[in-house]
Amino acid sequence: PATFILLHAQGKASKRRTSHIHSRCTTFPNKSMNVAGPIRSRPLPLSADGKDTGTSVGSSSSNDVDMYLDVPSFELSLDEFEEYALARLKVLRKIEEMKTRNLPPETFRTQLDASIKANLTSTQQKHKTKLDVASHFILRAAYCRTEDLRRWFLAQECRLFRHRLENLSRSSSTNNSGLREFLANNDFDLDPVSREEKERLSDKLQKVPGGPTSPGEFINTQYYRVPFVQALELVSRRECYVEKGQAYVPLARIVSIVAAKFRVALSKSLALAAGVFGQVAHDEASRIGPLLKSMNSQYTGPGAPNAVMGTDGENALTAATVDALADQSMPLCMQQLHQGLKRDHKLKHQGRLQFGLFLKGAGMSLEEHTLFFQREFTRIMTSEQFNKSYSYSIRHMHGKEGKRASYTPYNCMKIIFGNPPQSGVEHHGCPYKHFDDQNLSALLTKLKIGSVADRDVIMSHKKDGNFQLACAKHFEVSHPSATSVDGVNLDGVGNHPNAWFSASVSYHNAKNGGGASSSSIELKQGQGVAMAM
């Protein structure tokens, strides 16, 4: 039976989704598909050779280089599932960007090392391996869908693999022990050239350009014999000696042969996965399916994009400007939170987090953030109560308390797939996802977003489950000709609320002929309307 990676979500039939739900990546032989109980599952074959390779994680890893032949088995929360995938996506997109810029090899190497270090490393080797292996398999599943996606993923993964293998070869001791260990761990069946044969071919081997430079080095170099069709890259560059259909390759040049094998195996795996992706996406329509389908269009920019700074170097978003900017430039999710806060003079925990991190990401300082929330909350409680119950969490959000982490604002996927709000009590979430059709339609009409036809398009995106497209359409109709306005960066609109906000503020500034300073922002008071649902 073939080896499968099974992607499924499991959770208690609960009111609070995220904390109870885990997405599980595991291997299953075909016959084990009948999973009892409420969990519905469908296997996704990802192993190139179809053999059941067991369930160990990264068993073939050697110094960060992995052929990814062993399908992993472990549980991930939905947050980790997305986080790991986006971490790898950043590295792969960096590779693509550097290839486009045609950077010199040394610069390429340095920048790629930095990107790997920033995104795919951890101080704990075990976590690092899990992150690397999980992210590879998640993206493999996400990028198997179309020919274009497969081609893109294959190209970037092969480059990443080669880079790591070259690093391994470079960092190994003089006898390439790291590379030898990797080859041994991954069953590379290379035929070592005996001492006698090496002596017989001594002259010819030493004439190969770029080979050992001294007799001593030649003696210490291990050569391997491989069918020349497996070493075409080396043959075409005349970097190996060929005799009777066999290529004689020094250990250090085995890299290109291994890389070619990796490409073939990954290409096969992607084709296999493509064959069953539809079934998996269908069965996982409410959880992992949409995540996988939208992965290639995910925003991977900075965690806190688009802090809106004034030309005077000050943050444009303050307790004094937030009301007007909410009406003018916030996406629907944040407008809802803002309106909820203004109406109830408080926000529940999830709402404080979603809105607070958004404000922080948009550049609101700790002092202004506290002032704004205090102003609203103290309409129903005393200052002492506010300080006791809420100011700590605001300072925590800004990294001034607890482990002093730098928390980043939520992106759309996190909001869309996070805990849904309790109707009438909570205001977090994404209206395109969490409002029913009737409420959303009423809200769009009330806000006078676009024409009737525009609103129909938005609603049809919502009904199709394309929430982010609905949001992008909202931006498009509220900011006519934004693509041709100088200084408006539309990257991430529909993928990140902060990107939406920043693009909108820049748009209005450009339209009003000013830079993005707090004093020059033209605020259209009263443009937004109360959005009580």
Angle in degrees, 0-180, between the axes of helices 497-511 and 322-329, rounded to the nearest 10: 90
For the bound state, the minimum distance from the C-beta of residue 482 to ligand SF4, rounded and expressed in Å, comes to: 15
Contacts of 426 (CB under 8 A, 6+ apart): 348, 350, 351
In angstroms, rounded to a whole number, what is the distance separating the alpha carbons of residues 445 and 424?
A: 20
* Residue 97 token pair: 């960007």
The length of the chain in residues reads 533
Residue 188, phi then psi, degrees to nearest 5 = -75, 120
Per-residue burial over 291-318, b if 16 or more Cβ lie within 10 Å, else e, is bbbbbbebbbbeebbbbbbbeeeebbbb
Q: Applying CB under 6 A, which of residues 71, 226, 430, 531 lies at the interface with ligand SF4?
A: 430
Q: Which is nearer to ligand SF4, 24 or 461 (CB)?
A: 461
Closest separation in Å from C-beta 424 to ligand SF4? 19
Residues with Cβ < 8 Å from 149, sequence gap 6 or more? 142, 143, 296
> Could you say whether residue 528 binds ligand SF4 (CB under 6 A)?
no
Q: Are 470 and 461 in contact (CB under 8 A)?
A: yes
Smallest separation, CB 88 to ligand SF4 (Å): 22
- Binding piece for ligand SF4, criterion CB under 6 A, among 41-49, 122-130, 163-171, 465-473: 465-473
| 363 touches ligand SF4 by CB under 6 A | no
Continuous segment of H or E residues that includes residue 4:
strand 3-10
Mark the segment that binds ligand SF4 (CB under 6 A) among 57-65, 69-77, 132-140, 467-475.
467-475
Between residues 137 and 410, which has the closer beta carbon with respect to ligand SF4? 410
Distance CA 518, CA 509 (A): 10
Element (H, E) at 75: strand 74-77
Considering the rule CB under 6 A, would residue 415 count as an interface residue with ligand SF4?
A: yes
CA dihedral 176→177→183→184, nearest 10 degrees, is 150
Q: Find the part of the chain contacting ligand SF4 (CB under 6 A) among 76-84, 94-102, 326-334, 365-373.
A: 326-334
Distance (Å) of CA 421 to CA 49, 209, 418? 45, 67, 9
Is the Cβ–Cβ distance between 22 and 76 less than 8 Å? yes
Q: Which of 467, 502, 503, 528 binds ligand SF4 (CB under 6 A)?
A: 467
Site for ligand SF4 in 471-500 (CB under 6 A): 471, 494, 497, 500
Nearer to ligand SF4 among residue 92 and residue 333 (C-beta): 333
Smallest separation (angstroms) from ligand SF4 to the CB of 79? 16
- CB-CB contact of 162 with 255 (8 Å): yes
Nearest approach, Cβ of residue 362 and ligand SF4 (Å): 12
Q: Of the ranges 7-15, 47-55, 229-237, 327-335, which one interacts with ligand SF4 (CB under 6 A)?
A: 327-335
What is the pattern of x (binds ligand SF4, CB under 6 A) and - over residues 395-414? -----------------x--
Contact string (CB under 6 A) for ligand SF4, positions 332-351, x = contact: xx------------------
Size of the site for ligand SF4 (CB under 6 A): 15
Least distance in Å: CB of 290 to ligand SF4?
Answer: 12
* Residue number with CB closer to ligand SF4 (100 or 438): 438
Name the residues that contact ligand SF4, by CB under 6 A: 331-333, 412, 415-416, 430-432, 467-468, 471, 494, 497, 500
